[in-house]
Structure 1
Amino acid sequence: MQAVLNGVVVAEAPQSDLLKIEGTWYFPPTSVNADLLVKSPTRYTCSWKGECQYFSVLDGETLLQDRAFSYPAPPAASFARVGQDYSNYIAFWKEVRVSE
């Protein structure tokens, strides 16, 4: 599967390596082009996944605010709900399209 922004592959991995959490695909951190992500100061805490880290995604010269997110240190109790440790897996939204 790929996460693509305007023809540029931001992340790519076999579907079997991804996790689907609440209908959203999460890519393993090693499958993401980290050069296209910039940590965002945006804060959010999920009641069961914990503190979220947002990333802005580079689209050429433009930085698209908060188009990716991750949970760097989710509570261990949440792993049973997801089925495995999903620390640092990265999900995308808005203009970043995920497809096979």
Structure 2
Amino acid sequence: MIEGNWYFPPASVRSEHLAQSPTPYTCPWKGACRYLTVRVDGVELRDRAWTYPDPYPAAIQRVGRDFSDYVAFWKEVRLVEESEQAA
């Protein structure tokens, strides 16, 4: 957890539901952020996910692990496990 947000390893997120957003942002202590649009069942939630492809080394040290490309979501995005989705 970083600043109250859970960051998920890239392999645990279904990338077909994410599209790059043109929204720019650079966090003063984490580095350049890449926003993502979440797309599921015809609904698009712009900039509701984000990732840090190349966080600052000091940020990795501060967090205590490399979180490069991990994905976080805004709180209104409902995350489910695949087994839940199939039910």
TM score, norm. by length of structure 2 = 0.85
What RMSD, in angstroms, separates the aligned Cα atoms of the two structures?
1.7
Question: Once superposed, which parts of structure 1, at least 4 consecutive aligned residues long, lie more than 6 Å away?
Answer: none
Q: Percent of aligned positions with the same letter in both sequences?
A: 55
Matched with 2:19 is 38
Say yes or no: does 1:59 pair with 2:6.
Answer: no
TM score, norm. by length of structure 1 = 0.75
Identify, as 1 or 2, the structure richer in strand.
1
Query: How far 1:89 sits from its partner (Å)?
Result: 0.4
Distance 2:3 2:60 in 1: 13
Say yes or no: does 1:78 pair with 2:66.
Answer: no
- Give the alignment partner of residue 4 of structure 2, picking from 20, 23, 43: 23
Gaps of 5+ in 1: 1-19
Identify, as 1 or 2, the structure richer in helix.
2
**How many positions carry a matched residue from both structures?**
81
